[in-house]
Each structure stands twice: as structure tokens, then as C-alpha cells.
């Protein structure tokens, strides 16, 4: 029997993980072809804002290059666009009219940025205005980085996660940055007004002005005009106001598409069982995610499905984590729309806001802004669906109590190596006597400070654990 032919459209993070998972399965004898429209090897898109910020070198974001694909017998076509999918013939048609036959087709086309309705963004010749930048691909990132040295001011359009990261990155690069957000507050699709206000305050302290309830309406030579009449003078306009699943190809092929390509629990198109979709372009149980970890979980499941394993995908817990110097945000689940008991602590004075949503003892959603001291633990509890005790949600939001200093009782062990109590140390005249009669301090040496304190100030306070 001929090897089953798998064609993957897209060479982003989901596609790359899928190929890695497939070639790691020695039992899966598949002829894999990957078609990506971006030039060059796949890369970690998550790191683009860090590249922009300068905290991650552009040379260090590549994932797998041609060598990897060659070594594993995978055909990789980069810089190649897919024109059509001929489901009848089971062929992918490339822009140069080449046709790639498939037995299984995987759509990993990701998402594309949406252009907000701002007049002047596009020149009469159909190109973006030279000041205007999208921020989705490595090419976008390089173009923007190229423009930064000659720019003094920038306006970021869109106050979501990406907008905040880009605004911080440009600010770290030394630009004066304004951020324009159409809704009432920052991160409005993830958090409530209070958290948004704290974020806005933090950004203000970091030198970035935030304009909420404001829509950019026109780009002119004077700057970017807002619907409230203000014009923000600027050298750069970066559009981060959201993206949408890239589904044009799927739609033209007659696959059922709502927001994304609608797939079942085996990540198969509900229209055609030979077509799969994963990552940003897929819609599973009415949800599209736009995050990498769910896409990777889907890649693992889909690799299993393609290899003939009985695997299903039943959704992911989502943690959104802002990466930007000086701005600490973590959002778990959907805190604004999840039903449950809410515990929240806001401290605008210190710029922190924390909230957890608990249902049946389980942490179903959370927001942390400004103070992420327990983020590691909260994430674990969220991901593991740990059933918490009644007091725990509150305890999780409070700071640790300060360490106590109390007098050690005579029977407290101060030297574990020699098994010596505080009382025996107190009974000694000096350190030499302690060493001679108890051997305290001669083992690991860890009790030396405590012993000295006990000798010098027998009734005083010493730290306890």
C-alpha cells in the first residue's frame, strides 16, 4: 500500500509541532508535505514582541529549518501560496498551478490581522501607508524594527495583549508611545474595568499615554486623528487591533466555516473527514483560541489521529500571559464571563489587581495585574482543577505573613547534625564549650549563627522556621 499523503497548509507554530509529533511516531508511515507562505524556516511567533523590544535576538527564534524536514523525509515548500483546495480531486493547487495530491489535508493557516476602518491607512495604489505597520509576521517585525531608528513617536492601535506588548516594546526602544483603544478599558476582551484601570495607570507610569473610548478615524500628515477630535502626531502607526482566523481558503473549498473552520473532536472538518484544521484557524466547540499551548495540544491529538490512534481533543485551559518589560499580567480562563464566586483584591496605590473566580471549589478563572507573586501556584491550581478549601481563594490573594521571630524554647533543636537543643546551648559558657560538650556547629555548620545568638543573648529572639 502506498504511504498516506498528508499535506499541511501553513508552516507556523501549530504546523511545526504537528510535524514534530508525526515524525516522532515511528509507526506512522506518512508522506508529509508542508506548504508555508512565509519565506524561511518556521519560527516562534510568540517571541516577536520580545524581538521588537530587544530582549530576544531575531536570530534565535527559528524552530525547525529545512534540515530537520529533510532529515525526516518531509517535503517543505516555503514562500509558497496555496491558491485552491480541490476537494473533489483531493488536490491542493498552488499559486503556480502545481497540484499536490493528498489523502489527508491539514489546514494550519493561522490568523490574519484585521485592518480597522481608518481612512488614509491604504494609499491610492493599494499599499499600506509608509507609516503604517501590521505586527503579525517576522517580516512585519523586521520592517517595524527598520523604521524605529528614524521615529520619535508611535501610536499603537488596539489595547489587547499584542497592543500592550508592542506599546511597551516601542517604549523600551525609546519612542514616545500613545495607545488607542476603542472600548472602555485595556484588555477589554479578557478583564474588567478595574483591572484595565490599574493597567492604564501602570502604563502611564511607564510613560505611555492611553486613550480609551477612542477610535482612530483618519491618518493625515499631522498625525492620527481620533473620533474625539484629538490628533496624535506620530511617525509610526502599528495596528494590533485583533486578528481573525484565516479561513478564505477553507471557505472557497466549501468547508463549513463560522469564525474558524469548524472541526469535531478529532479535529476533522465537519464537512469533509479528509480535511483537518488546528490552531488559530480552527473552531472547536464554538471556540477559537489564538494561543499557542492549545494549538500544541491540538497538534498532539491530531498527530495521533493521523497516525491511527484513538485520540480526541476536548478543549484546553487557556492562560494568557503578557510578555513585556515592566508590565505584569496573567489571565486564566475567561474571568469576565465565567460564572462563580468572585474574590478580588484591588490596590491601585501599588498598581496591583487580583481576582479569582471559583466554582465548586475549583479555580475557573483568574486575573493578576501588577503582582504576580503567586502566578506559578495559581496557574497550577487552575490547570489541575484542584478543589480548594473555603479559605484558600482568599489566602491565595493575600501576601504571605511576615516571618516571626520568637524565643526558642529550651527543647527546640538548633543543631540537627548533632541533635542539640537550645537549652543545651544556653547551658554552655561559650562557643568552645558548645563544641566540646555538644558538637553543635561542627557538622554542616548551619546552626552557627543561631548558636552565637543563643550564647550572646540567651533570652533574646532568634528566628524560627
Partner 1 sequence: MVEQVEGTRTHCPYCSLQCGMQLHRRGRETTVAAWEEFPTNQGAMCRKGWTSTALLRDRERITTPLVRDPATGTFRAAEWDEALDLVASRLADLQRRHGHDAVAVFGGGGLTNEKAYSLGKFARVALRTSQVDYNGRWCMSSAASAGTRAFGLDRGLPFPLRDIEHTDVLVLVGSNLAETMPPAARHLDALRRNGGKVVVVDPRRTATADRADVVLQPVPGTDLALARGVLHAVVAGGWVDQAYVDARTTGFEQVRRDVATAWPELTERVTGVAADDVRALARMLGEAENVIVLTARGAEQHAQGSDTVLAWVNVALALGQCGKLLSGYGCLTGQGNGQGGREHGQKADQLPGYRSIEDPAAREHVAGVWGVDPAGLPGRGRSAYELLDAIGADGGPKGLLVFGSNIVVSAPNAHHVSGRLDALELLVVADFVMSETAARADVVLPVTQWAEETGTMTNLEGRVILRRRAVSPPQGVRSDLEVLAGLAGRLGAPAGFDTDPERVFDELRRASAGGPADYAGISYARITDEHGVFWPCPADDHPGTERMFLDRFAHPDGRARFHAVSHRGPAEQPCGDYPLYLTTGRVLAQYQSGAQTRRIRELGDEGAFVELHPMVAARVGVGDGEEVRVRTRRGTMRAPARVSTTIRPDTVFVPFHWVGANQLTNDALDPASRMPEFKVCAAAVEAASDGPVGGVADADASTGAADGLPTIRPRSARPPARPATAAPSASPLATSASAVDAAVTSPCAADADATPGGVDG
- Binding-site ranges for partner 1 (CB under 8 A): 13, 43-44, 46-47, 50, 55-57, 60-65, 68, 292-293, 319, 321, 323, 372-373, 375-377, 379-381, 383-389, 391-392, 395, 400, 416-419, 439, 442-446, 465
For the CB of residue 263, give the shortest distance to partner 1 in the complex, in Å.
24
The residue among 63 and 219 lying less far from partner 1, judged by its C-beta, is 63
For residues 201 and 207, give the distance between their C-alpha atoms in angstroms, rounded to a whole number: 10
Nearer of residues 202 and 379 to partner 1, judged by Cβ = 379
What is the smallest separation between the CB atom of 176 and partner 1, expressed in angstroms? Answer: 26
Q: Which one, 66 or 222, has the nearer CB to partner 1? A: 66
Residue whose C-alpha is closest to residue 263's, from 292, 232, 287 = 287
Spell out a b/e string for 333-361, using b for 16 or more CB atoms within 10 Å of the CB, else e.
bbbbeeebeebbebeeeebbbbbbbbeee
Helices and strands in the chain: count of H runs, count of E runs: 13, 29
- Of 146 and 446, which has the nearer Cβ to partner 1? 446
Least distance to partner 1, CB of residue 56, Å:
4
What ranges in 218-354 are assigned the alpha helix state H?
248-252, 292-306
Shortest Cβ 280–partner 1 spacing (Å) = 17
3-class state of residue 354 by DSSP: strand
* Cβ–Cβ < 8 Å for 330, 300: no
- Smallest gap from Cβ 371 to partner 1, in A, equals 11
Q: Where are the alpha helices (DSSP H) in 223-291?
A: 248-252
For the CB of residue 293, give the shortest distance to partner 1 in the complex, in Å: 7
Choice between 216 and 369, CB closer to partner 1: 369
* Cβ closest to partner 1, residue 20 vs residue 140: 20
| Residue recorded with cell 508555508 | 36
313: cell is 481533543
Q: Which is nearer to partner 1, 44 or 289 (CB)?
A: 44
Strand-pair partners of 276: 106, 268
Q: What is the rounded (10 degree) CA torsion for 19, 25, 27, 29?
A: 10
Nearest to 290 by CA among 12, 11, 9: 12
Residue number with CB closer to partner 1 (46 or 412): 46
Q: Which of 320, 317, 292, 296 is nearest to 382 (CA)?
A: 317
Return the number of the residue (78 or 442) whose C-beta is nearest partner 1.
Answer: 442
Quickly list H helices, 76-233.
138-147, 161-172, 193-205
Nearer to partner 1, 173 or 321 (CB): 321
Shortest distance, CB of residue 312 to partner 1, whole angstroms?
18
Distance CA 244, CA 220 (A): 27
Residue 59 region by backbone torsions, left for phi larger than 0, else alpha for psi between -120 and 50, else beta:
alpha
Q: How far is the CB of 174 from partner 1 (least distance, A)?
A: 20
- Residue 387 Cβ vs partner 1, minimum distance, rounded to whole Å: 7
Nearer to partner 1, 68 or 256 (CB): 68
DSSP-derived secondary structure for 406-433: EPPPTTSEEETTTTEEHHHHHTSSSHHH
Distance CA 202, CA 17 (A): 36
Q: In angstroms, give the least distance from the CB of 187 to partner 1.
A: 16
Q: Which three cell numbers stand for residue 213?
A: 473610548
Least distance from partner 1 to the Cβ atom of residue 446, Å: 6
Amino acid at each position: 500500500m502506498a504511504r498516506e499523503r498528508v499535506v499541511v497548509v501553513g508552516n507556523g507554530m501549530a504546523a511545526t509541532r504537528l510535524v514534530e509529533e508525526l515524525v516522532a511516531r515511528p509507526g506512522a508511515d506518512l508522506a508529509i508535505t508542508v506548504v508555508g507562505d512565509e519565506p524561511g524556516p518556521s519560527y516562534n511567533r510568540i517571541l516577536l514582541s520580545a524581538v521588537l523590544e530587544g530582549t530576544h535576538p531575531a536570530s534565535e527564534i527559528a524552530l525547525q529549518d529545512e534540515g530537520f524536514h529533510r532529515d525526516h523525509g518531509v517535503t517543505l515548500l516555503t514562500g509558497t501560496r496555496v491558491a485552491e483546495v480541490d476537494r473533489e480531486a483531493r488536490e491542493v493547487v498552488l499559486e503556480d498551478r502545481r497540484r499536490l495530491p493528498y489523502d489527508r489535508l491539514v489546514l494550519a493557516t493561522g490568523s490574519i490581522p484585521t485592518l480597522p476602518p481608518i481612512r488614509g491607512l491604504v494609499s491610492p495604489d493599494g499599499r499600506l501607508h509608509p507609516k503604517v505597520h501590521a505586527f503579525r509576521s517576522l517580516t512585519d517585525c523586521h520592517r517595524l524594527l527598520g523604521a524605529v531608528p528614524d521615529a520619535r513617536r508611535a501610536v499603537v492601535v488596539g489595547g489587547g495583549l499584542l497592543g500592550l506588548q508592542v506599546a511597551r516594546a516601542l517604549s523600551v526602544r525609546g519612542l514616545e508611545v500613545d495607545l488607542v483603544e476603542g472600548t472602555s478599558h485595556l484588555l477589554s476582551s479578557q478583564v474588567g474595568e478595574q483591572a484595565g484601570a490599574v493597567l492604564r495607570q501602570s502604563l502611564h507610569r511607564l510613560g505611555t499615554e492611553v486613550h480609551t473610548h477612542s477610535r482612530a478615524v483618519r491618518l493625515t500628515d499631522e498625525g492620527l486623528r481620533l473620533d474625539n477630535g484629538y490628533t496624535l502626531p506620530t511617525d509610526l502607526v502599528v495596528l494590533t487591533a485583533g486578528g481573525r482566523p484565516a479561513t478564505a481558503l477553507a471557505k472557497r473549498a466549501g468547508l463549513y466555516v463560522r469564525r474558524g473552520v469548524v472541526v469535531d473532536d478529532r479535529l476533522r472538518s465537519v464537512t469533509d473527514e479528509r480535511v483537518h484544521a488546528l490552531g488559530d484557524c480552527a473552531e472547536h466547540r464554538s471556540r477559537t483560541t489564538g494561543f499557542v499551548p492549545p494549538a500544541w495540544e491540538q497538534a498532539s491529538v491530531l498527530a495521533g489521529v493521523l497516525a491511527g490512534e484513538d485520540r480526541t481533543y476536548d478543549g484546553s485551559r487557556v492562560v494568557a500571559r503578557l510578555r513585556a518589560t515592566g508590565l505584569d499580567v496573567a489571565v486564566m480562563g475567561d474571568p469576565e464571563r465565567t460564572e462563580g464566586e468572585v474574590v478580588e483584591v484591588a490596590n491601585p496605590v501599588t498598581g496591583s489587581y487580583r481576582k479569582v473566580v471559583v466554582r465548586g471549589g475549583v479555580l475557573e478563572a483568574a486575573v493578576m495585574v501588577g503582582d504576580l507573586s503567586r502566578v506559578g501556584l495559581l496557574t497550577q491550581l487552575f490547570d489541575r482543577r484542584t478543589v480548594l478549601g473555603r479559605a484558600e481563594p482568599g489566602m491565595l490573594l493575600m501576601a504571605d505573613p511576615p516571618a516571626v521571630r520568637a524565643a526558642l524554647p529550651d527543647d527546640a533543636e538548633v543543631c540537627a547534625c548533632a541533635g542539640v537543643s537550645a537549652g543545651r546551648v544556653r547551658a554552655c559558657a561559650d562557643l568552645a564549650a558548645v563544641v566540646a560538650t555538644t558538637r553543635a556547629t561542627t557538622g554542616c555548620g548551619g546552626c552557627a549563627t543561631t548558636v552565637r545568638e543563643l550564647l550572646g543573648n540567651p533570652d533574646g529572639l532568634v528566628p524560627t522556621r
